[in-house]
Amino acid sequence: MKSIYNNLKPFVLEQDIPTLQKHITSGELSYEKLTKFYLYRIRKFDRANNLSLNSVIALNPNVIQQARQKDKEFLNKKMKHPIFGMPILLKDNVNASDMPTTAGAVALQDNNAEDAFIVKQLKKQGALILGKANLSEWAYFFCGECPSGYSAIGGQTLNPYGRKIIDTGGSSSGSGVATSANFCAASIGSETSGSILSPASQNSVVGLKPTIGLVSRSGIIPISSTLDTAGPITKNVIDNAILLDAIFGEDKSDSKSIFALWGNGFYVDELVSEGLKGKRFGAYKEMLEKEPLYVSAIEQLKKRGAEIVVIEENEDIKLPDFLRLLNLDMQKDLPIYLSKYADDKVALKSVEDVIDFNLKDSIHIMPYGQALFKGIVADKATDEEFTLIKEILKTNGKHYFDDFIKTNQLDGVLSINNYHAGYAAVAEYPAITVPMGYKENGAPMGLTFIGKRLSEKQLLQWAYNYEQATKMRKAPVNYN
C-alpha cells in the first residue's frame, strides 16, 4: 500500500479538482484510488502519532464501495458535475446518513440523522462523502474559555503549520486543517461569525462564507437561524467555486433560502485572469500601518489594475447585543433541530437538557465547562425586543460597509482573516479569504474580500486573480 501511495502522491497532493478529474480521465487515478489515498493519509497523519492533527472525527464506512460505484458510473459517462467522485469531508454539525452528527458533543454521539439538504445536493452531483471533520464543540458556542478546535468527541485539532503552537482557528477547525493537510479533495464548514474565515486563513486555505440563504441550513446543527450558513473550504479558488456550485440551491424548508436564477456552472465559469482591472477596493489604514503581508497583498492587486482607496475603521458603529442575538436564536433553533432533524433516539429536546446531560460526567464531557450554554438559558427577551436587536445589528452591519462603498464607489472591501467577520455576519454579506503569506513564526494569514449581498461570483473572481498572481499557499512541510 505504501508504494502505491507514494506513486499516487504527484497526482493528488495539492492538485485542484479539475486536475484530479483529468488524471482520472487519463487513467492515472480512479475514484477508488483517490478515496483510498485520502484514507491512507488520514490513518498516517491524523491520529496517535507525533504528527497527529485530530482533524477527522468519523469516516464513512461505505465510502470505498461508493467510490467503486462512481468509477462504474464514470465509465458509463454519467459524470454530472466537476464535484463528481470527489471525496468531501463535512464539518460534524452537518447531517449525513452514514455517520453520527455530533457537533463534537457526547450528548449527540448517537445522532444518526438523515442527510442535510446540502449533502443531498452534493450526492445529486455525484460527490463522495468521505467523513466528518472535527470542530470546536457546538460550533464554538458552548464552553467560553476553551481553545478553538476542541471537542469532547474529537479531541484537540492541531494546526499542521505548528502543532500546539499555532491556533487552528474555529469553529470549522477540522475542515480547515484536513483540507490544508490534503486529507480530502475539499470540505464543508459552517459560519455564524468567522467560523469559516478563521480556520481557512489560519490553515492557508480558501474559505467562502456565502450570503445568508444562498446555501441551505436545514439538517445542520444551529447556533443562529439569523446568521448561520454553510460554505466551502478548499485549497484553491477554483475548487471553492466548484464546491459552492454543487451545494447552493433553494430549500423551501429554510426560512432564509434564496431562489437563485442561475443554474450549475454559474460559479465555475468565466474565472478569467483579467478580473481585477478597474475594480475599486477599500483598504483599511490601520492594517496598512501594522501588517506587512496586507501591504504586499494590496501592492499585488494594484499591479493587476485594481484601484485602492484607503479607508479608516468606523469605530462609531457598534454591534450591540450580538451575543444576545445568538443566545435568543439558539434557545429556539436547537429545539427545532432536535425535533425535526435529529435521530428519533436522541432524547434531548433543549439547551437545558444538554446542560443536564453534561453534568453526569463533567470531567470527560465538558472539561472546560459550559458557560455559554448557561448564558443561553439565562437570557430572556420579548419578541419585540428580539426583533429590535436583529434590526439594529443588521442595520449597523450594512452601514459599516455600505457607507464606505457608496462614498468611494467601491466594488468591495479588503480585510485580513476574520477581522471584520462580525460586521459581515450581521449585514448577511459574503466574504472569501485566500492565502496571502506567513508570519515570522510560520502562522498563515489570509487576504479577505468582502462584498455586498449575492456578490459571490465577483468575490471568487477577485480571489482567483489574486491567487493566480501570487500563489502564496505552501503546503505544510511535514505532511508532504
pLDDT in tens, 31-84: 999 999 999 999 999 998 999 999 999 999 999 999 999 999 999 988 889 999
| Beta-strand runs (E) in 92-228 | 128-133, 150-151, 155-156, 186-191, 206-209
Q: What is the pLDDT of residue 269?
A: 86
Q: Each residue of 172-222: pLDDT tens digit? A: 999 999 999 999 999 999 999 999 999 999 999 999 999 999 999 999 999
Considering the candidates 151, 171, 190, 257, report the single residue annotated as catalytic.
171
Q: Does 91 participate in catalysis according to the annotation?
A: yes
The Cα 55–Cα 168 span in angstroms is 10
The position carrying cell 485580513 is: 416
List the domain boundaries for the chain.
Answer: 2-270+322-380, 280-319+385-470
- Which residues make Cβ contacts (< 8 Å) with residue 104, sequence separation at least 6? 57, 92, 134, 135, 136, 137, 138, 150, 151, 152, 153, 154
- Which residues make Cβ contacts (< 8 Å) with residue 231, sequence separation at least 6? 188, 189, 190, 191, 196, 207, 208, 209, 210, 215, 244
Q: Each residue of 333-359: pLDDT tens digit? A: 999 999 999 999 999 999 999 999 999
The Cα 415–Cα 478 span in angstroms is 29
The Cα 36–Cα 66 span in angstroms is 12
Class of domain 2-270+322-380: alpha beta
Q: What is the pLDDT of residue 2?
A: 86
Contact 17/185 with Cβ under 8 angstroms? yes
Question: Which set of grid coordinates corresponds to residue 20?
Answer: 484530479
Distances in whole angstroms, Cα of residue 395 to Cα of each of 109, 311, 386, 390, 410: 39, 20, 14, 9, 19
Q: What is the pairing mode between strands 307-311 and 431-438?
A: unpaired
The Cα 275–Cα 265 span in angstroms is 18
Q: How many Cβ atoms are within 10 Å of 110's Cβ, its own excluded?
A: 13
Q: How many Cβ atoms are within 10 Å of 407's Cβ, its own excluded?
A: 11
Question: Which set of grid coordinates corresponds to residue 168?
Answer: 487552528
The Cα 43–Cα 40 span in angstroms is 5
Q: Does 374 participate in catalysis according to the annotation?
A: no
How many residues are recorded in the chain? 480
CA dihedral 449, 450, 451, 452 (to 10 degrees): 170
Residue 323 burial (10 A CB sphere; 0-12, 13-18, 19+): middle
Does residue 302 surpass a pLDDT of 90?
yes
Mean pLDDT of the chain: 97
Q: Each residue of 120-153: pLDDT tens digit? A: 999 999 999 999 999 999 999 999 889 999 999 9
Does residue 272 surpass a pLDDT of 90?
no
The Cα 433–Cα 424 span in angstroms is 13
Strand order in the sheet with 444-450: 56-59, 128-133, 87-91, 186-191, 229-234, 206-209, 431-438, 444-450, 412-416, 280-284, 307-311
Considering the candidates 175, 195, 204, 218, report the single residue annotated as catalytic.
195
Contact 250/258 with Cβ under 8 angstroms? yes
Considering the candidates 33, 36, 70, 91, report the single residue annotated as catalytic.
91
The Cα 444–Cα 450 span in angstroms is 19
pTM score: 0.98
Distances in whole angstroms, Cα of residue 336 to Cα of each of 225, 254, 310, 342: 10, 12, 45, 9
Residue 424 burial (10 A CB sphere; 0-12, 13-18, 19+): buried
End-to-end CA distance of the chain: 17
Does residue 264 surpass a pLDDT of 80?
yes
The Cα 372–Cα 138 span in angstroms is 10
Q: What is the pLDDT of residue 211?
A: 98
Q: Which residues pair with 191 in a beta bridge?
A: 229
- Which residues make Cβ contacts (< 8 Å) with residue 32, sequence separation at least 6? 64, 67, 68, 70, 71
Query: By C-alpha distance, which of 174, 163, 136 is closest to 443?
Result: 163
The Cα 185–Cα 130 span in angstroms is 9
Question: Which set of grid coordinates corresponds to residue 184?
Answer: 480530502
Residue 357 burial (10 A CB sphere; 0-12, 13-18, 19+): middle
Identical fold between 2-270+322-380 and 280-319+385-470: no
What is the average pLDDT across 278-291? 98
CATH number of 280-319+385-470: 3.40.190
Residue 307 burial (10 A CB sphere; 0-12, 13-18, 19+): middle
